[in-house]
A and B are shown apart, each in its own frame.
Chain A
Amino acid sequence: MGRAPSPFATKIPYEKKDLKIVGTNPTARGDAVDKVTGRARYASDISLPGQLIGRVLRSPHARANILSIDTSAAEALAGVKAVVTRDDFPDMAIEHAASGELMVNFRDVTRNMMARENVLYDGHPVAAVAATSDAIAKQALKLIKVEYEVLPHVIDVRDAMKPDAPILHEDQFTKGVEPKPTTPSNVAARMESKLGDIEKGFAEAEIIIEREFNTKPVHQGYIEPQASIANYTEGGLAEVWTGTQGHFVFRAQIAKLLEMDLSKVKVIPTELGGGFGGKNNVYLEPLAVMLSKKGKRPVKMVMDRDEVFRATGPTSGTNVKVKMGCTRDGRITAAQAELNYQSGAYAGSSLPLATITVFTRYDLENVSVVGHDVTTNRPKVAAYRAPGAPMVAFGVETVIDEMARECGIDCIDFRLLNAAKEGTQTHFGPKLGPIGYIQTLERAKVHAHMSEKLGPNQGRGVATGFWFTLGAETSATVNVGEDGTATLIFGTVDVTGGSRSAFAMIVAEELGIPYEKVRTMSGDTSALGFNFMTAGSRGTAAGSMAAVTATRKAIARMCEIAARKWEVEPDQVVWEDGKARPAGANVGDFAPMSVAELAKEAAWFGGTIAGHAEINVAQGGPGFGTHIVDVEVDRRTGAVKVLRYTLIQDAGKAVYPEFIEGQFQGGAVQGIGTALNEEYIYNDKGLLENAGFLDYRIPVASDVPFINTEIVEVPNPDHPYGIRGIGEVPIIPPLPAIANAIHDAIGIRMRDHPMSPPKVLKALKDQMIEDAAAQGTAAE
């Protein structure tokens, strides 16, 4: 996931113990009252005195060289205080860095933020202005004259791989191919993942199934458009309020792109109105800082929804080929895949993640995966909840369903026969530790959902998913107040309100004080050491490791206070049930001291009580889930209705179970949207035709049923509470589960995403024509 595992990374062994607070559902959530009363403050809710409004001029072409940019008329307009173009930003050398689950290259980041030599997609930023009002800023954009040389473009991944395709980058030669190619290509990189001997595996197979799948890009679809407000002071300091999944990473990127010292940039994360991976990247922030520097006033920038669709996110569109072989008794002998993933205008899709995780749900001897990262004239892709995984699961889980039917084995039994378990060698490297995959399958098998009767044109599908839990740099501070209450300052972004509560529960559990006595709050980049983003399902899993570490340091400090008071050695004091106690009878007869009592005496005995954690959390705690879905296909319209949905997933330990259910349900419904409706639609000019929520249709309340959830708990051995990441797995299985259910309903295998009414209707018509032809042949 972007970086090699560190031998110095932190693991804390699982501690089996009775819990008082962790695992309950608290009634008071730190963020909730502000969110239901409209008082929660998101980036676009913040205004500063004297602020200007910033707007971005975007490319109207899919691909063009920029011959000239004339901003003089815009600059002359009354009320315009600053205009920026490529000339205001330094060029960057090739340098890669992790940004969420994907890697970025600063040479490309600066070009994506503000076009330099050329524009490479509809919506690519070309200039930005700051003016005293939004109306003046918009008027100024119209006065900027850009001379373009329009060039041929390419949108589809398969087209972009053809030898005669328009080449986006003349200096891009396919990496991972020996010898180094001599001609440039849209294929930025070729990568492989292998295990065993694939030829031997297919030789042992009695059934071989090979299929091809295509998916369209989909957008994260967060309801809050990107928004940032920046203030550049005369002293050369920048303050940025923004909606982000990782303010420390944003600080690093802003500083790099603007050639500033890290210490001179402060990023304050606001409440985040949804991200799902789409807010792992800077878009507006460096522009706002530069406009503020030039305009000498704070600058606020908020994207319109069409800008969000045209220029942020989305996922890769993909072309996936899956070939698998098994014996007649259902043992998979070989698993092969070719993954062709769009990266958008610049190299770097989720392909590396997809390549190494394609088959990780299964215990396989022979695996061969080849992947291609392909540049096309679309916005640079961003992470989206288990980036790259749903598309490849679409292929694998559909082929698994076909193989199970071919063998005459129930599709859950087939998966159980081949299921990954503790000790399974993955094709991405490590052997799996204790995991809950088999438990999710077994629970699915006996779930009441499986015995619900199906009517005509109704079908049932099953699919499964796997995702990592990222570790990475994580910091936190616990301050124990003079009154015995505690405040945790955390540095991971709490994207939903859930981790804030989970952290409070864990700190309360550790300290032995009531949940209500712990406040948790987000720290800006000046409050803590570096924290990696909330990505890779790490928010609560990794953040809580830092919270536990910091709290235990505060507890050590409290034991020290008790030792000083009792005039014993610190190791003669233990912490039990929320109190410092003598370690044994021989230490002396001292009354145990509570947090509040210790806090009162802290000053005299050396100073205030606090604990810090600055750790690099080891990656771990992979998550697995099984989904069951029932659908009904309307043969007249091709519309697919989801009738029933059940999701079972291993959470390791559910700290706040109702919240985990909510994440499961939300992920599943995003997956349903992906499966049935969502897609980017480009016209023949390479312009996005559905850049709004009316035409890019995400699920609404009437589209979906209740989502039944079950939580399995197989503790993560490297976390004191056993927590695994849970956020990403739920979006993986819906796409293949629905495809399998459609097949069960109407006998048609859908392999082109989305499975929207026109596609299903066409498939039904093709089926009727084939059936009629077959009957005709039979009649002859």
Chain B
Amino acid sequence: MAKQYVTTIVNGDNVEVLCDPTQTLLDVLRDEMDMTGTKEGCGTGDCGACSVTLDGVLVCSCLVLGIEANGKKVETIEGMAQGEELHPLQRKFIDHVALQCGICTPGLLIASKALLEENPDPTEEEIRYWLAGNLCRCTGYHKIIEAVQDAAAEMRGN
């Protein structure tokens, strides 16, 4: 199939790319744009390791076609820190040891950021249900929940 020309804004940068119409956004990010921060754990939308936002909506990039990103804004883990300054969620994940092997971490950070944008003061239960689509096999989630709570408090100015 002929490749298609796609223009998109990734983490604020204009990007032009030729995509095969069958390529997922995840594959386009990783293989065509060399942005390997977004991870593939399953390819079927079950693990959340490939979480990104598309025009602000949290999606599994393995379930979105690359060509669907045409004219849209994509936010990935590579855009989360502002220069040297880590996002509060990134800092709190480190402070609370909320990551071990780290393969799920980019997806969890993107999903947590989307949560706090929608709900700046989530309860423990709300965090657990929001993040239920992001699998982590190392941490047992305990320190992830604490990190999100702590980051939320800091971002609210507490």
Which residues of chain A have a CB within 8 Å of any CB of chain B? Answer: 25, 27, 29, 31-42, 44-45, 47, 135, 220-225, 271-276, 302, 304-305, 495-498, 658-659, 661-663, 665-670, 692-694, 698-704, 706-707
Contacts and interface: CB of A to CB of B under 8 A. Distances in A.
Contacts of A36: 77, 80-81, 86, 90, 93-94, 99, 102, 105-106, 109
Contacts of A223: 39, 41, 47, 49, 101, 103-104, 135-137
A222 B137 contact: yes
Leading 7 A-B pairs by shortest Cβ distance? A38-B37, A273-B103, A35-B102, A669-B140, A665-B140, A496-B100, A693-B46
Given A41-B36, A497-B100, A701 B94 contact: no
Contacts of B80: 36-38
Given A32-B99, A701-B132, A37 B37 contact: yes
Majority-rule SS of B interface residues = loop
Contact of A225 (B40, B90, B144, B145): B40
Nearest to B146: A706
Nearest to B148: A701
23 contacts: A32-B102, A35-B102, A38-B35, A45-B30, A135-B22, A223-B49, A223-B103, A224-B103, A271-B102, A274-B137, A276-B137, A495-B100, A496-B101, A497-B99, A497-B101, A498-B100, A661-B142, A666-B139, A669-B139, A692-B42, A700-B132, A704-B140, A704-B141
B127 A698 contact: no
B135 A698 contact: yes
Contact of B43 (A135, A305, A665): A305
Contacts of B22: 135
A702 to B, nearest CB: 4
Contacts of B53: none
A29 B94 contact: yes
Given A135-B22, A305-B43, A692-B46, 10 more contacts: A27-B95, A36-B86, A36-B102, A40-B102, A222-B101, A223-B136, A666-B137, A668-B140, A700-B133, A701-B134
Contacts of B93: 32, 36
B135 A700 contact: yes
Contacts of A658: 96-97, 143
B77 A273 contact: no
Nearest to B22: A135
B54 interface: no
Contact of B140 (A37, A44, A222, A707): A707
A41 B100 CA distance: 14
A667 B136 CA distance: 12
Interface string B128-158: 1101111111111111110000000000000
A274 B103 contact: yes
Contacts of A668: 140
A644 to B, nearest CB: 13
A242 to B, nearest CB: 15
A731 to B, nearest CB: 11
A304 B46 CA distance: 13
A522 to B, nearest CB: 14
Interface residues of B, number: 57
A304 B139 CA distance: 23
Contacts of A667: 140
Contacts of A31: 102
Contact of B46 (A39, A497, A659, A694): A694
B99 A665 contact: no
A223 B90 CA distance: 20
Contacts of A704: 140-141
Q: Residue among B20, B22, B93, B106 with the most chain A CB within 10 A?
A: B106
A276 B139 CA distance: 12
Contacts of A224: 39, 41, 101, 103
B137 A698 contact: yes
A662 B100 contact: yes
Contact of B101 (A47, A272, A659, A703): A272
A37 B101 contact: no
Nearest to A657: B97
A669 B142 CA distance: 10
Nearest to B105: A35
B139 A665 contact: yes
B76 interface: yes
B78 interface: yes
A221 B144 CA distance: 19
Contacts of B4: none
B38 interface: yes
Nearest to B93: A36
A24 to B, nearest CB: 13
A27 B92 CA distance: 10
Contact of B142 (A272, A302, A707): A707
A577 B145 CA distance: 40
Interface in B93-131: 93-97, 99-106, 109, 125, 127-129, 131
B143 A701 contact: no
A658 B138 CA distance: 14
A701 B131 CA distance: 6
Contacts of A302: 40
Contact of A37 (B47, B86, B145): B86
Q: Residue among B100, B102, B127, B136 with the most chain A CB within 10 A?
A: B102
Nearest to B102: A35
A215 B29 CA distance: 41
Interface in B1-45: 20, 22, 30, 34-44
A497 B102 contact: yes
Contacts of A663: 100
Contact of B44 (A32, A273, A693, A706): A693
A38 B105 CA distance: 8
